[in-house]
């Protein structure tokens, strides 16, 4: 069941930071990253229960081409994105956001 999608400021900042990093590496790669994020967010919004819970009610939707995950809480009235997180970073950085 589709629910409204909210994105916390920390997650928005992580998306922007990753976009900038990829864009600096190769022009247009940042836009491809954002397209993957948009695709993932659409899937999460459409069917939030579809993706696995990895810890304390936090779901994870992996990005297709990039080593990032969308981490979110599927609450009763809203789906809340808490992080856009690189797979090699220390997970303690997002775990306190739940």
Q: Is the pLDDT of residue 1 over 80?
A: no
**Domain ranges, residue 25:** 5-95
Q: How many domains does the chain have?
A: 1
Helices (H), the chain: 9-25, 29-46, 92-95
| Burial zone of 60 (CB within 10 Å; 0-12 exposed, 13-18 middle, 19+ buried) | middle
Instruction: Report the CATH number that the domain containing residue 88 is assigned in CATH.
Output: 3.30.2310.20
pLDDT digits (tens, 9 = 90+) for 54-72: 988 999 999 989 999 999 9
Cβ-contact 65, 36 below 8 angstroms: yes
- What pLDDT is stored for residue 88 in this prediction? 76
pLDDT digits (tens, 9 = 90+) for 12-50: 999 999 999 999 999 999 999 999 999 999 999 999 999
CA distance 23 to 46: 28
The answer to which of 11-15, 32-36, 87-91, 93-97 has the lowest mean pLDDT is: 93-97
Q: Are strands 5-7 and 79-86 parallel, antiparallel or unpaired?
A: parallel
Q: Is the pLDDT of residue 93 over 80?
A: no
CA distance 63 to 40: 6
Which among 38, 61, 64 has a CA at the least distance from the CA of 49? 61
- Please tell me whether residue 28 adopts helix, strand or coil conformation: coil
Total-model pTM: 0.88
């Amino acid at each position: 069941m589709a629910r409204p999608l909210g994105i916390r400021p920390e997650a928005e900042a992580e998306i922007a930071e990753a976009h900038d990093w990829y864009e600096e590496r190769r022009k247009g790669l940042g836009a491809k990253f954002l397209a993957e994020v948009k695709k993932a967010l659409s899937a999460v919004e459409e069917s939030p229960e579809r993706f696995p819970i990895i810890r304390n009610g936090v779901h994870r939707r992996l990005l297709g081409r990039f080593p990032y995950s969308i981490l979110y809480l599927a609450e009763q009235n809203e789906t809340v994105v808490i992080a856009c997180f690189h797979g090699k970073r220390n997970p303690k950085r997002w775990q306190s956001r739940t």
